Each structure stands twice: as structure tokens, then as C-alpha cells.
Amino acid sequence: MAIFFRATLVYAIVALLIVAHLQSIDRDFVVRSLALIMLFLKWLAGSFQWGVALPLAAVLTFGLSRAPARLPLLFIALVSCVLFQTAFYIVKSSIPLVVPFYADPWLADFDRWLHGGQDPWVLAHRILDWMPASLIATLYTTIWAFPALAFVFILVLIEADDLRFRRYVILYLFCWLGLGNVLAALGASVGPVFYYALLGDDRFADLHRALAVSGVAQTTVGALQENLWKNYIEGGLVVGSGISAFPSVHVGSTTLVALYVIERVPIAAPPAIAFVALIQILSVYTGYHYAVDGYVSIAAMVGAWALVSPGKRRQIWPLSRSVHKS
């Protein structure tokens, strides 16, 4: 647990230094950051009530009885997850101040070429034209959120293998920092749904009409998209703030959870893979992402997982430390 806690503290300090350099750490920033933490906790609780994570934990774990002994670690893990995500949104919101959005035309053109001359959002709407808008919004926001955002908390609750614990903490950090910050800055982009707002080009006008007709624009997805752009223009800081299309952390974090599920319970591979595919399609359906955003995230997470696979983990992590001690 120490590795994640230390990484979170360093990350939070870096986030503050970035804000201090690019903007200013004043009373308004402190108030907005505290509001962000409270809203994040509320959002996390809202995701938790769906009972997605705990049934998953019950299936994966063979030592749930150890949970009471791990209460101190669970508390530290929860605090660390909240602080980590707060720092992530601060850094993510600062990316456009360092690297202006530039990659959308290239990503859109490559996406269309890759899919035979058709924008993949059209294919996504054909595939999911039967799904109610409310279910789309719930799947992509609420049900996705808890296992993705609180993954380390779940690991502390259920994982007894010290080496596997550390491997997946590293993969979690790689997902959010490597994909969500580093690659996001290198490929700074807003995604199809914000294409017109950024560039004044209406190549995705039909996407907006499709989202309105399907009812998705009237759900929490539409509200979040409006708030994202509003906060980008105003420089605000809220839960989920910061626009970034390439690559997709939504898909990357879902892939991470799926890899863990498959490793612990191989028989659960089909539904785990299916959920990754669903989140990938939904990320395109909602207009948040180009399809290639998700493809890159899946490839990157699987590649990173392979690098720290069980066959190599003895070379990476010492055996002398445990989850409880670390």
C-alpha cells in the first residue's frame, strides 16, 4: 500500500506545483479543490450503491474474512484514491494550458480511414440502437466508476498475493498517469462531441443529432458534456473536469479491471472482455472518444500487463515485503 500512498503524495505535490506555475494557489483554488473532493466522494458513494464492486470482490476473493484486520489500510486506501483522483483532475484540467488541443483533425481522419471511410460513431449507434438512453448513461458513468476509480481500494480489500497487489498498483498508476496525463498531453484532443465547439467544423453535426434523437443528450452524459466544456472555457474544477479524448482512460481502466478479473477467475474472461468491448463502443457512441482512443488504451494496458506478467514479477518486486507492511 505504501507504493500507492507515496505515489499519490508525490502526484498531489506535482499537481499543486503545476497549478502554482500555470495559475495560482489562492483561496478560490482551495475552495474549488475541497468542493471537488466532496463531490468526488458523493460520486463514489453513488457508484458504490449499485453494488457492482462488492459482488465482484466476493467472487474474486478467497479471504474476505481478512477485511476487518485491514480496516486501517482500507481507510488509507480510500483517502489515497480520493487524493489521487483529485490530483488527476487538477493535472488533466491543466493540460490545455501546456499543450493546446491540436490532434482532433488527424484523429478524426485516421478514425474514418481505419473504419473503411465511415465514422465509427455511426457503427456504434447501429450496434446499440436498442439500448435505452438511461442505461447507456448508467453504464458509462455510474457502473463504470467504482471499480475503475477505487481499484486500489478493492485490491486492499481482497488481494492476498503481495506481488500481484504491487503489479496491479503499478498498472493502475500507468493507466491514469501514463495514459491519462502523458499520452493525453502528447495527443491533446477534445473528441467528436466537442469538435465543433473547438474548431467550428460541423463534420460531427449528425452525431449531435443522433445523441439528441436517442435521448442520450438529455441524460447525465449530456449534462456532463455541457459542464465539461463550460468548465474548460471558465477554467473551473469539478468532478470529471478536464477534456481529453486521446487516449481513453475510460477504456484503459476498464481493461485493467478486466485483466485482473481474468487473472483471478479465468472462467469470467468472456463477460470481462465483453464489458471492455461495451465501454469501448459506448465511448464512441457518446462522442467522448474516437475509436482509436480506445484501441490504443487497450493495446497499452495489455502490453503493460504483459511486461509485468507473473513470469517476470520475481525480477521486479522483492519478496521480503508484504501488503500489510508496505
What is the spatial distance between Cα 235 and Cα 97, in angstroms, rounded to a whole number? 10
- Given a contact cutoff of 8 angstroms between Cβ atoms, the answer to whether 152 and 81 are in contact is yes
| Helices marked H in 159-265 | 162-173, 184-186, 195-199, 205-214, 220-234, 249-264
286 assigned to some structural domain: yes
Model pTM greater than 0.75?
yes
326 assigned to some structural domain: no
**Residue found under cell 485490491:** 155
- Given a contact cutoff of 8 angstroms between Cβ atoms, the answer to whether 140 and 283 are in contact is yes
Helix (H) or strand (E) holding 6: helix 2-22
58 assigned to some structural domain: yes
Per-residue confidence (pLDDT) for residue 204, from 0 to 100: 96
CA 131 to chain centre: 23
- What's the domain range around 165? 2-316
189 assigned to some structural domain: yes
What cell does 155 get? Answer: 485490491
What is the spatial distance between Cα 89 and Cα 238, in angstroms, rounded to a whole number? 8
Per-residue pLDDT at 43 exceeds 60: no
The number of helices, as runs of H, and strands, as runs of E, in the chain is 18, 0
Per-residue confidence (pLDDT) for residue 46, from 0 to 100: 55
What is the spatial distance between Cα 94 and Cα 60, in angstroms, rounded to a whole number? 37
pLDDT in tens, 209-250: 999 999 999 999 999 899 889 888 876 555 456 899 999 999
| 3-class SS of residue 288 | coil
pLDDT in tens, 52-84: 445 445 444 545 555 566 667 777 877 888 888
321 assigned to some structural domain: no
Per-residue confidence (pLDDT) for residue 326, from 0 to 100: 45
What is the spatial distance between Cα 17 and Cα 204, in angstroms, rounded to a whole number? 37
251 assigned to some structural domain: yes
pLDDT band, very low/low/confident/very high, at 324 (cuts 50, 70, 90): very low
323 assigned to some structural domain: no
What is the spatial distance between Cα 279 and Cα 53, in angstroms, rounded to a whole number? 17
What is the spatial distance between Cα 3 and Cα 216, in angstroms, rounded to a whole number? 40
CA 86 to chain centre: 13
Closest CA to 255 of 236, 269, 234: 269
Q: Of the given ranges (5-19, 193-207, 306-320), which has the lowest mean pLDDT? A: 306-320
User: What is the chain's mean pLDDT, rounded?
Assistant: 82
Q: How many domains does the chain have?
A: 1
pLDDT in tens, 90-142: 888 888 888 999 999 999 999 999 999 999 999 999 999 999 999 999 999 88
Per-residue pLDDT at 199 exceeds 50: yes
Per-residue confidence (pLDDT) for residue 305, from 0 to 100: 96
65 assigned to some structural domain: yes
For residue 191, give the DSSP letter: -
